[in-house]
């Protein structure tokens, strides 16, 4: 999923002039920035539609990075325990995202409910991948492919079909960014979030 680095031009100017509303008003570029923005969002830090958007985006990006890392775990034949801890963490992040959005119920920002509904659909799709397939695939993914059984390949094929359904929701979430920004009167940057760099940072932290 390609998510844009969506700092409104107005907020970028205010941040450069010393205005300090912490993580939700400063450009998010690396893993730590998104984690700090998500934490601020979960603590009720968003005060307008723009900041609400960046909070939701930070939550989604953090979860998306974790989902993308599954392929990296597979490539290095991570242990079953490492896979399961990864998935347990993702499910906690999903619940935290939902709880955080609930903090802002009734704020009345344009298209707030639409963004919340679609984000819930998105995180539920990720949770479905985890619960229906990825936990079960932890064992085969922890060994080389030449040790997989036919049933493992069959399950992986089913996972790929489910992944396509997830991508459909994912694409709608990406498109919603533009709609939400327009409704709330802010502009989007043309820069894209470097997801690969965030994944690489995470994987380096795993190295012994």
The first and second tokens of residue 185, run together, are 């009167």
**Per-residue pLDDT, 40:** 94
Q: Which residue in this structure is represented by tokens 């409704």?
A: 183
Q: What is the pLDDT along the chain (208 residues), one digit of tens a residue?
A: 444 444 443 343 333 333 344 667 766 777 888 899 999 999 999 999 999 999 999 999 999 999 999 999 999 999 999 999 999 999 999 999 999 999 999 999 999 999 999 999 999 999 999 999 999 999 999 999 999 999 999 999 999 999 999 999 999 999 999 899 999 998 877 777 778 888 887 777 665 5
Sign of CA dihedral 120, 11, 17, 47: negative
The first and second tokens of residue 138, run together, are 């932890």
At residue 19, the 3 state secondary structure works out as coil
Query: Within 10 A of 20 (CB to CB), how many other CB atoms are there?
Result: 8
Spatial separation of the C-alpha atoms in residues 187 and 181, rounded to whole Å: 6
**Per-residue pLDDT, 200:** 82
Query: 177 with 6: CB under 8 angstroms?
Result: yes
Please state the pTM of the whole predicted model: 0.88
DSSP 57-85: HHHHHHHHHHHHHHHHHHHTT--HHHHHH
Spatial separation of the C-alpha atoms in residues 207 and 69, rounded to whole Å: 14
């Amino acid at each position: 999923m390609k998510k844009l680095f969506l700092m409104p031009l107005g907020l970028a100017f205010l941040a450069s002039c010393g205005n300090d509303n912490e993580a939700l008003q400063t450009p998010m570029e690396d893993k730590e920035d998104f984690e700090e923005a998500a934490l601020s969002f979960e603590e009720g830090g968003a005060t307008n539609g723009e900041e609400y958007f960046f909070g939701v985006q930070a939550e989604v990006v953090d979860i998306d990075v974790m989902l993308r890392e599954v392929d990296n775990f597979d490539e290095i034949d991570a242990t079953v325990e490492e896979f399961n801890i990864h998935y347990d963490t993702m499910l906690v992040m999903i619940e935290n995202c939902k709880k955080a959005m609930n903090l802002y119920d009734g704020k009345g920002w344009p298209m707030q409910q639409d963004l919340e509904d679609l984000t819930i659909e998105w995180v539920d799709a990720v949770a479905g991948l985890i619960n229906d397939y990825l936990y079960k695939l932890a064992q085969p993914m922890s060994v080389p492919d030449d040790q997989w059984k036919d049933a493992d390949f069959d399950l992986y094929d089913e996972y790929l079909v489910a992944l396509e359904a997830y991508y459909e929701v994912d694409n709608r979430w990406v498109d919603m960014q533009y709609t939400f920004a327009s409704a709330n009167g802010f502009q989007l940057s043309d820069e894209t979030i470097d997801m690969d760099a965030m994944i690489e940072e995470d994987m380096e932290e795993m190295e012994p």
